[in-house]
Amino acid sequence: MNALAIDPKNHIQNHREYHTEHHAPGGGFRNFPEPETSNPSPLKAAGWMLGRAFRSLQGFDPTPVQRIDPAELAGPAPRSPRTYWLGHASTLVRVGDQIILTDPVFSKIIGPTRFAGVRRLTENPIEIAELPRVDSVLISHDHYDHLDADAILELERRFRPWWFVPLGVAPILEQLGIARVCEMDWWQFLEHGDVTFHCLPARHFSGRGLFDRNQTLWASWGITPSREISRGRGSIFFAGDTGYGPHFKQIRSTLGAIDLAILPIGAYLPRWFMQTVHVDPAEAIESFLDLEAGRMLAIHWGTFDLADEAVHEPPRELQRMIESRGLDAGRFDVLPVGGSSPA
């Protein structure tokens, strides 16, 4: 039987660090081991978001986009894993014969409605209809810029992949008619074909409406190829959305040094609102060093205007941080949308 056809829900295992302190008393979830020390008042947050509704992007230079050739994705499996940045937190990972997507967002507007959403600033480097196949999809959390219902429906219609999601997110997909969904908790893992997926901690929050905050879990993901196809190399870490915290060192302790860390660098201002949930470029570097990663792919910038920093400030600030710390710039990939990094 094809290994990808086997129901993975029956094969979930726990890492030795598995615990449930991030399960909030009375239901829902919370950050652990470093909970939020303060939360902005709803009135202050609402005022900031209302002000952003009238922000102008005049003078904005589009983020460079490099088209992905569908024939390249349909060709022979690469000798080692390769990751393509599709924009924002969406990536396409080729590992052996598998194609894996993370947080696939292809819509032109993301949000609860077309009238209350944020418009995409770039073209897609490839459309869903051009993909040769999709075997698995990893979702980090339920926010609209990471869980795109229209893209999910189209991917399901064309490919019927397996969907791997944090606890509580399965009902959202099931309401869309998705059946092949596998929920996982932090520090759980399973083998699926030639790869192992690890559901790992992040420091964030969840919610798609006014009354469901933190009722579903948020997560980062690890992807480790089998030794048969990787010779022990090619491990990938996908951070999703996260603030900085001790979980990066914990992940390094569990998975070993990471070959490619896919880390966000954008949507970090104002800090009073973003610090607990989004790393800034300096913290992205700290996360990279905590993971002892070989390379870093910078994501979560240049695709949607979600915060107060200029759209292209994150890569500039990242470059300043790299230079000020005397780090090897060749280990940090800041790519056009559609560019790719080796693991």
58, part of any domain? no
Look up the pTM and report it. 0.95
Measure the CA–CA gap between 268 and 287, rounded to whole angstroms: 15
Q: What are phi and psi of 200, to 5 degrees?
A: -130, 165
The answer to which of 43-57, 105-119, 152-166 has the lowest mean pLDDT is: 43-57
Burial of 253 (0-12, 13-18, 19+ CB in 10 A): exposed
Provide the pLDDT for residue 62: 87
Provide the pLDDT for residue 54: 60
pLDDT (tens digit per residue) in 223-238? 999 877 767 689 999 9
89, part of any domain? yes
248, part of any domain? yes
Instruction: Check which CATH number belongs to the domain holding 118 and give it.
Output: 3.60.15.10
pLDDT (tens digit per residue) in 77-101? 888 899 999 999 999 999 998 999 9
The two structure tokens encoding residue 61: 């230079």
130, part of any domain? yes
5, part of any domain? no
31, part of any domain? no
- Total number of domains in the chain: 1
In this structure, are residues 151 and 163 in contact, taking their beta carbons and an 8 Å threshold?
Answer: no
- Residue ranges of alpha helices (H) inside the chain are 42-52, 70-74, 149-159, 170-175, 227-230, 247-255, 271-274, 281-290, 313-324
261, part of any domain? yes
Half-sphere exposure in the Cβ direction for 148 (13 Å, CA)? 25
In this structure, are residues 214 and 224 in contact, taking their beta carbons and an 8 Å threshold?
Answer: no
Supply the range of the domain harboring residue 203.
Answer: 65-342
Provide the pLDDT for residue 106: 98
